């Protein structure tokens, strides 16, 4: 885990533990003495791509440094129903206090990695699977990490990563100039000359106009596979073409076969089915 990811995950953990009031678990405090110890087992209840397990030691350390943790799976490993993912040994009060936080983090990361991998497997190496900024507030580092574990690639982490000229930019510039695309490139290059520029278009005519200004990348929004195939034929080498908009597991193969370089999927992070797992003491 790199330093920046660890910093962000640690911050997320601190907020989660504060939110859950782990020092005020009145049920566990009523039932168990501080000296009572136990062993907790994290068990996978359906097949999945494992992600976020490396966060468990950070969670345990934040709740109670006396807890000893052993991880039984690696990040990105294929887990099977019934697999033992991790064990934690220590005071029962502490184990019960961290249970929900641990499951929430690991389950969420594993669910994203698993869903991402389904898309990656579906395109079979024909193009990149990209995430978006459609992430839970405050959890972008976690979610984008899970996408990478699932075999996907990260799009912009934040607004400062690269220039992305979208429909709202062009619409507003259209109030100021008769050539909003030309003006957007002029202003972008003047403001951030060292940043890559991507522009969003939703038609072949928009693509042709954008190509005049030699962008680094073009986002083809809500265009059909047939239109995208024509766009690929029109586009010179060296410009990264990305497709987006309403693409799902049922339709993605037809888009991947157009020759597109990447497909961005909002569902990787904003609409996922939770992978089932249990924490048993």
Local structure of 93: helix, strand or coil: helix
Would residue 237 show up in a list of annotated catalytic residues for this protein? no
- Quick one: which H or E segment has residue 33? none
Would residue 200 show up in a list of annotated catalytic residues for this protein? yes
Would residue 100 show up in a list of annotated catalytic residues for this protein? yes
44 φ, ψ (degrees, to nearest 5): -80, 135
Q: How far is CA 214 from its chain centroid? A: 29
99-129 in b/e burial notation, b at 16+ Cβ within 10 A? bebbebbbbbbbbbbbbbbebbebbeebbbb
Instruction: Give the integer Cα–Cα distance in Å for 21 and 178.
Output: 57
Would residue 214 show up in a list of annotated catalytic residues for this protein? no
| Pairing relationship of beta strands 68-71 and 84-91 according to DSSP bridges | antiparallel
Residues with Cβ within 8 Å of 242's Cβ and at least 6 positions away in sequence, in order, are 130, 198, 217, 218, 219, 220, 260, 261, 262, 263, 264
Q: Of residues 118, 134, 153, 196, which has the active-site annotation? A: 134
Q: Of residues 66, 166, 208, 214, which has the active-site annotation? A: 166
Would residue 229 show up in a list of annotated catalytic residues for this protein? no
Nearest to 49 by CA among 77, 15, 21: 77
Q: Of residues 100, 124, 214, 253, which has the active-site annotation? A: 100
Only one residue has tokens 């020092």, namely: 23
Contact criterion met (CB below 8 Å) for 210 and 181: yes
Instruction: Give the integer Cα–Cα distance in Å for 83 and 280.
Output: 13
Active site residues: 100, 134, 166, 200, 221
């Amino acid at each position: 885990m790199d330093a920046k990811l660890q910093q962000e995950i640690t911050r997320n953990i601190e907020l989660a533990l504060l939110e859950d009031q782990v020092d005020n678990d009145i049920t566990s405090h009523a039932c168990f003495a501080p000296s009572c110890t136990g062993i907790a087992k994290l068990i996978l209840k359906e097949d999945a791509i494992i992600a976020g397990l490396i966060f468990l030691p950070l969670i345990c350390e934040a709740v109670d440094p006396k807890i000893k943790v052993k991880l039984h799976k690696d990040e990105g490993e294929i887990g099977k129903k019934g697999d033992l993912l991790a064990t934690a040994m220590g005071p029962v009060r502490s184990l019960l206090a961290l249970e929900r936080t641990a499951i929430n983090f690991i389950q969420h990361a594993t669910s994203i990695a698993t869903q991402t991998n389904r898309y990656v497997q579906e395109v079979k190496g024909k193009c990149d699977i990209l995430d978006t900024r459609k992430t839970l507030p405050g959890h972008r580092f976690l979610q984008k990490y899970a996408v990478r574990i699932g075999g996907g690639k990260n799009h912009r982490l934040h607004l400062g990563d690269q220039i992305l000229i979208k429909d709202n930019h062009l619409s507003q510039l259209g109030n100021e100039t008769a050539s909003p695309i030309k003006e957007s490139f002029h202003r972008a290059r003047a403001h951030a000359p060292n940043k890559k520029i991507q522009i969003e278009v939703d038609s072949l005519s928009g693509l042709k106009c954008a190509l005049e200004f030699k962008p680094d990348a073009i986002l083809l929004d809500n265009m059909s596979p047939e239109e995208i195939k024509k766009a690929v034929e029109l586009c010179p080498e060296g410009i990264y073409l990305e497709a987006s908009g309403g693409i799902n597991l049922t339709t993605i193969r037809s888009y991947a076969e157009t020759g597109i370089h990447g497909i961005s999927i909002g569902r990787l992070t904003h609409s996922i089915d939770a992978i089932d797992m249990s924490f048993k003491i």
